[in-house]
Amino acid sequence: MPGNLFIDLSLIIILAMVVCGFIRLIKQPLIIGYLLTGIIASFLGLVPSGEAMEAFSHIGIALLLFVIGLGLNPKVIKELSKPSLVIGVGQFTITTLIGYLMCTFFGFPIITSLYIAVALSFSSTIVVMKILSDKNDTETLYGYLSTGYLIIQDLIVVIILMIITSISSEVGIAEIAFETILKGIGLLGILFLIGIYALPKITELIAKSQEYLLLFSLGWCFALSLLFYYMNFSIETGALIAGFTLALSPYRYEISSKMKPLRDFFIILFFIAIGSQIVIGNIGQYLKVIVVLSVFVIFVKPLIITSLLGFLRYTKRTSFLTGLTSGQISEFSLIMVALGTAMGFLSPEILSLVTIIGFITIAGSSYFMLYSNQLYFYLSPYLRIFERKGGRIDAQHSYKESDYEVILFGYSRIGYDILESLKKIKKKYLVVDYNPVIIRKLTKDSVDCRYGDAADYELLNDLRLPKVKMVISTIPNYDSNAMLIKKIRECNSNAIIIVVSHNIDQAIELYEQGATYVLTPHLLGGHHASMMIEEYGFDIKKFLKEKLIHLNDLNHRSDLGHNKPKHERK
């Protein structure tokens, strides 16, 4: 009954609030709190019917992938299609083979071993994208690579689910696959044409009403999700394509920001649902298997991807960070095993076994992804074995080895104005950015630049910081700025260090750590307005002149994609 569902959901949200409050107090990832909430809710009998939670979970997944699709760059996806295909298929094949051998060693039947091995090979699109989004790393090279191989894995999932369902069907696998490929190619072609020629114009017309823009975006997301579902594709694929087709819209950032509250609510229910599926029961007999397979997923899978990317001549840092994103099993793994159980191929204990492995690996890999930069700092000397000799694909740059007067970390938005000023005063500068799209553009414009992350100690060692006169960081991340200040002050006490902070307390701390000046964008706007009032008084002509200058600047920045600051894109 609707009343009972409301009561159950209310109790679950209250329980999540309490559990996650404690998790936040001890400074642990909130994903752990969501999973623990699911376990406690299941124990207390608070979980709604399976159909209700499944529906909420699908909505959360669809909204998350829709937002991810909005941020995908078609040019980058085309460029990274080869490495994504190699690591996606390569990791799946190697993991499945090793997993199968391990399961047969533990005495599982052939069919059961195959199911478990395939389940272990997939990584969770939801978990990875959530953490990449929280860390503002979706536009980094490793973020693009992670998105790419996850899409490849999702396509493999669709094929495997078709094979499983066709076993009990009169229609042959080859016939289903051929029909699906034809439908898929045709559908994608039509949707991409709509995304290029129709959707930008449509969103521009309806954007005058922000409420209707939200409603249209939701309608488009769910319309394509249903379309893909009825054409025997996954709902999740439809949502991702829906976002991707809107990625060329000038209002994609507004749409993304409006979707965030809805997305987060349903994603919370998704993780609670995962936790609620864990049934301890008679699982004790599989304890050794669970531990070994969990260790395999958390540690060995990332090494497989790290090795494959190293073979493709990526730097050890990009390879390592991309590899870390694979250290868990997927929600599709649970769906596949549940389907196998329903068809009588697997026992219920196997579903619980895989679900517990999912809980352990999701929790464990979340820590590794959140603290990936710190892990890399300690493990960097041991990761050289994963690099091949010769040029690095991701060591992109357009500069000569020399001493620079100014180093600018982060070009987009604030960095754009700073770079224009550096050009005017004719200082020798270098731009460092972790977005490969920006580096490619700067290289085309003959700007001295290189790909890299301010949190990479090896990069900082290579930048000749003792000779630099000024370092500017437009990165809003406190940890990255704190580490950058510490590194510079160790070798250069006279350098001017300018960093950005969106938090007053953190700005004060950055000053205490050695920053020369801390930019606080949310406060500078009011300061600028007050200066105009003091200077212009009630002279409307001067204000209108300022308006024209600002409007031209806004239009130019809109063309450059500076619509929203990165810290708001979640």
Q: What is the pLDDT of residues 166-202, one digit of tens each?
A: 554 445 555 555 666 677 677 778 887 888 788 888 8
pLDDT at 394: 55
Which residue would you say has higher pLDDT here, 270 or 472?
A: 472
pLDDT at 454: 79
State the DSSP code for 345. Answer: S
Q: What is the pLDDT of residues 198-238, one digit of tens each?
A: 888 888 888 778 788 889 989 999 999 888 888 777 677 78
Q: What is the pLDDT of residues 243-270, one digit of tens each?
A: 888 877 777 777 877 887 887 788 777 7
State the DSSP code for 296. Answer: I
- The SS3 assignment for 341 reads helix
Q: What is the pLDDT of residues 131-160, one digit of tens each?
A: 887 787 877 888 888 888 888 887 787 677
Which residue would you say has higher pLDDT here, 159 or 314?
A: 314
pLDDT score of 416 more than 70:
yes
The DSSP bridge pattern shows strands 397-398 and 449-451 to be antiparallel
Global pTM reads 0.69
The length of the chain is 570
Q: How confident is the model at residue 102 (pLDDT cuts 50, 70, 90)?
A: very high
pLDDT score of 325 more than 60:
yes
Superfamily of domain 402-568: NAD(P)-binding Rossmann-like Domain (3.40.50.720)
pLDDT score of 560 more than 70:
no
pLDDT score of 73 more than 70:
no
Q: What is the pLDDT of residues 7-51, one digit of tens each?
A: 878 888 899 899 989 888 876 777 778 878 888 887 787 776 666
pLDDT score of 300 more than 90:
yes
Tell me if 437 sits within 8 A of 75, measured CB to CB: yes
Compute the mean pLDDT over every residue in the chain, rounded to the nearest whole number: 80
Tell me if 157 sits within 8 A of 339, measured CB to CB: no
Pick the CATH number of 51-286 from 3.40.50.1100, 2.60.40.10, 1.20.1530.20, 3.65.10.10: 1.20.1530.20
Q: What percent of the chain has pLDDT over 70?
A: 83
Where are the chain's structural domains?
51-286, 402-568
pLDDT at 567: 43
Lowest mean pLDDT among 66-80, 199-213, 488-502, 503-517: 66-80
Rounded to an integer, the average pLDDT of 463-474 is: 87
Distances in Å between the Cα of 4 and the Cα atoms of 14, 56, 115, 468, 516 are: 15, 16, 36, 65, 58
